[in-house]
Chain A
Amino acid sequence: MTEIDFLADTMRRLLVGVPLTIALAVVSVACGMALAIALAVLRAGSRIAEPLVRAYVFVLRGTPLLLQIFMIYYGLGQFSWVRNSIAWDLLRQPWWCAILALSLNTAAYGSEIVRGGLNSVPSGAVEAARVAGMTALTRYRRIVLPIAMRQALPAYGNEMVIMVKSTSLASIITLMEVTGIAYAIISETYRAIEVFLCAGTIYLVLNFLLTRGIGALERRLNPQLGQAAH
């Protein structure tokens, strides 16, 4: 087989894993973002929740994601009471373990980003909303969160890009996404450099599309900045 044939064949086989890579990234970023917003709002609004959220962020941000995936997949499976609970229906599947680990991890980083966004909301805007008679919930929904998320978007885009790459760790719990397939091909052919080059290209293309999407969203949310913001 010539070099070009080998690369083309490798690419074809790696592309089979792209849907799984995208699914892992999209689902965990979505779940993680919902949790991140909830955590950030809790931290800003509740004296009791504040230290708990801080502890959560401290632990999840301070330990490697690889370890978290291992702990959730192999660690929880060690306990018979976990295996006998209803949660085992989900936890016995590698897919849900990966989603859980990735979501919890990105939520920790995300909540800090959203917190930065919340802090940047001008107090005048909140005051005006209060004077206008909005309830706390309406205030958050209409004024605080839209401004906070707009401010947080560039940093959050960064986190999304990292998450696309983090899905590559799912291969250690038997999920055959792009990196998992790459390892399998290397074990057949022993040609690590070519195969990783192909896998790297796939991640590069995915993240190129993602950053373009985030850029477009940024421009839409900040029309006053016009063409300058890109």
Chain B
Amino acid sequence: MKLSTLLATAVVALSAVLGGAAQAKEWKKVVIATEGAYPPYNLTQANGKLAGFEIDLAANICPRVHLECTFIATDWNGVIPGLLAGKYDAIMDGMSITPKRLKVIAFSTPYTQSPSTFAVMKKGPLANMPDTGKRVSLDNPAQMDAAIKALTPVLKGRTVGVQVSTIQADLLNKYFKDIMTIRTYGKTEEHDLDLYAGRVDLVMASSTYFVASLNTPQGKQAEESGPLFVGGLLGQGAGVGLRKTDPELKALFDKGLAEAKADGTLKKLSLKWFKTDVVPQ
């Protein structure tokens, strides 16, 4: 082969490769990252298989939009950098849609919305704190101030456990930093262990998480306490985390979710896993 022919072939081959990449990506297979340790959103069964609300939800919406979805278990810590690095295409891990995260990634429409609250030991001094079970909105400063004022005498000097880089950690850092010592954990299960062991006085998480965790044999020693926080930095509920560069994929997930919401599937799954309706209104 002559050199000129070789070069021409190379140019043709190269432009074919580049041209292909420049076209809008047609999605068929999608890898979704989840923690497998955030029940009831996602959990790992005794046989090692993933299960939970999000696993069921993906199994329902992916076929609706002709996607073949597979899950991959990933640490919560670093789940967003992994998405940006292209290790997977989507995140379904009870991840709340917040302004801070929206700067970095895109989200589908939300599929759950639930308040955040504290859990304490039933027999401990913090059971039935002020405003237990009452909704307090972070968007209402007067209401928030009153709630913090009521909680301050009970929580002064206590130690609270929370999962790192969650909206709950943001909430504690913003409103309770000067009142309590905040300890951050890699997984919610770890701060639960420290609650039972007495290393922390209380923990904070989403109330949907407590539905599952307080129902375990060990979890029965603990209960929810204090206000149900909503709004503000807590975001608009949890959605599928996606790269900003994949608008086609976001459109597919939005379509699937809208259909699942319209025909009642979302509510059915919510009742199955959370025992309550957490579908965003």
Contacts and interface: CB of A to CB of B under 8 A. Distances in A.
**3 nearest A-B pairs in the assembled complex, by CB-CB distance:** A187-B165, A77-B197, A192-B81
A230 B54 CA distance: 59
Given A174-B185, A187-B165, 19 more contacts: A74-B190, A74-B194, A74-B197, A77-B193, A77-B194, A77-B196, A77-B197, A77-B199, A78-B197, A83-B198, A94-B199, A174-B161, A174-B183, A184-B165, A184-B184, A186-B81, A190-B80, A190-B104, A192-B78
A190 B197 contact: no
Given A92-B199, A184-B184, A78 B193 contact: yes
A183 B84 contact: no
Interface of A: 74, 77-78, 83, 92, 94, 172, 174, 176, 183-184, 186-188, 190-192
A163 B90 CA distance: 37
Interface residues of B, number: 21
B167 to A, nearest CB: 12
B84 A83 contact: no
B197 A83 contact: yes
B164 interface: yes
Nearest to A195: B81
A187 B199 contact: no
A159 to B, nearest CB: 27
B100 to A, nearest CB: 8
Contacts of B194: 74, 77
A77 to B, nearest CB: 4
Given A77-B199, A78-B193, A92-B199, A187 B186 contact: no
A191 B104 CA distance: 10
B198 A187 contact: no
Contact of A172 (B84, B161, B186): B186
B77 interface: yes
Contact of A92 (B80, B100, B164, B197): B197
A187 B104 CA distance: 11
A176 B164 CA distance: 12
Nearest to B185: A174
Nearest to A183: B77
Contacts of A92: 197-199
Contacts of B185: 174
Contacts of A183: 77, 164
Contacts of B165: 184, 187-188
Contacts of B197: 74, 77-78, 83, 92
A74 B185 CA distance: 12
7 contacts: A77-B196, A83-B197, A94-B183, A172-B186, A174-B183, A176-B184, A187-B77
